[in-house]
Chains A and B, each alone.
Chain A
């Protein structure tokens, strides 16, 4: 009675293959930016993480649907940013005497680790969660931010 009009697995696999290629490329040359540490647990596909950078800060977006602040732990130690938590998914208790048709969502414990570049000021890191996205803001040290030098007429 249920079937998908789009095959999710096909889409997923090509998506991840492309990413793996990207990531190995990234790690080889983006040494200054946030890179995944050797100690990082990158095997799992939950939660997905995006990282962006501006002149002033790095922003880490953790896609952790169904989780709020009490389910998550974000910590920094030895220049490593760790995101840890546990998620429960739909179970028998949510629908009595039921049959499972699909169980694609992640359930269980997860740990993700990112290594921080030296330019990050570890004292002023901030994490917020909204609509299942945890946004971690990592400001850069003031001395290491690019400065614009005003050019004046002589």
Chain B
């Protein structure tokens, strides 16, 4: 298993430069892929589902810091050596997306599950942020 690197090597060769050690590196950093998400919310929690094909539990990172939720992952796939890219819809090897979360989410109780390249995050709300029904008496 190697990291998936689909670059446009059948077209324009990537510009590169030599660094101090003599290694060749691409000049421009690869832009992260933005995984599409579904988000639903009810009184109990927020549910977030993200498509991240190729990401395994080992390469997935879910982080909550400063009221920001970051999901990140690296694609790994079976890539033979000296393979050239013929056609690529997906160009990149790294997903990243960030969301801002309010105080109402109980960050201690966030649950993450990754299955067949789909990340499901359950973000429960704190009890005092849930809507309560107040009975109206006549």
With a CB–CB cut-off of 8 A, which chain A residues contact B102?
1
Q: How far is the CB of B51 from chain A (nearest CB, A)?
A: 4
Inter-subunit contact A52/B89 (CB<8 Å): no
* A154 interface residue (CB < 8 Å to B): no
How many positions in chain B have a CB within 8 Å of any CB in the partner chain? 54
Is there an interface contact between A33 and B86, defined as CB atoms closer than 8 Å? yes
CA of A39 to CA of B11 in the docked complex: distance in angstroms? 26
Distance (whole angstroms) from the CB of A79 to the closest CB of chain B:
16
Residue from A12, A33, A34, A105 whose CB has the most chain B CB atoms within 10 Å: A105
Are B86 and A64 closer than 8 Å at their CB atoms? no
A48 is an interface residue with CB less than 8 A from chain B? yes
Considering the chains assembled together, what is the distance between the CA atoms of A65 and B117 in angstroms?
5
Within 8 A of B (CB), among A76-112: 89-90, 94-106
**How far apart are A141's CB and chain B's nearest CB, in angstroms?**
18
A63 touches B90 (CB 8 A): yes
Smallest distance from the beta carbon of A115 to chain B beta carbons, Å? 12
Chosen A-B contacts, 23 in total, with CB atoms closer than 8 Å, are A3-B99, A19-B89, A22-B11, A22-B87, A36-B87, A50-B88, A51-B85, A52-B84, A53-B83, A59-B80, A64-B53, A66-B118, A90-B47, A94-B40, A95-B42, A97-B42, A102-B39, A103-B38, A105-B37, A105-B38, A132-B117, A133-B77, A135-B78
User: What is A's interface to B at a CB cutoff of 8 Å?
Assistant: 1-6, 8, 11-12, 15, 19, 22-23, 25-26, 30, 33-36, 48-55, 57-59, 61, 63-68, 89-90, 94-106, 129-133, 135
The 6 closest A-B pairs by CB, nearest first: A132-B117, A132-B53, A48-B89, A65-B117, A104-B36, A90-B38
**Further 18 A-B residue pairs, CB within 8 A, beyond A6-B97, A135-B77:** A2-B100, A4-B99, A5-B99, A19-B91, A48-B89, A52-B83, A55-B82, A66-B116, A66-B118, A90-B38, A98-B40, A99-B42, A102-B38, A104-B37, A105-B49, A130-B77, A131-B54, A135-B78
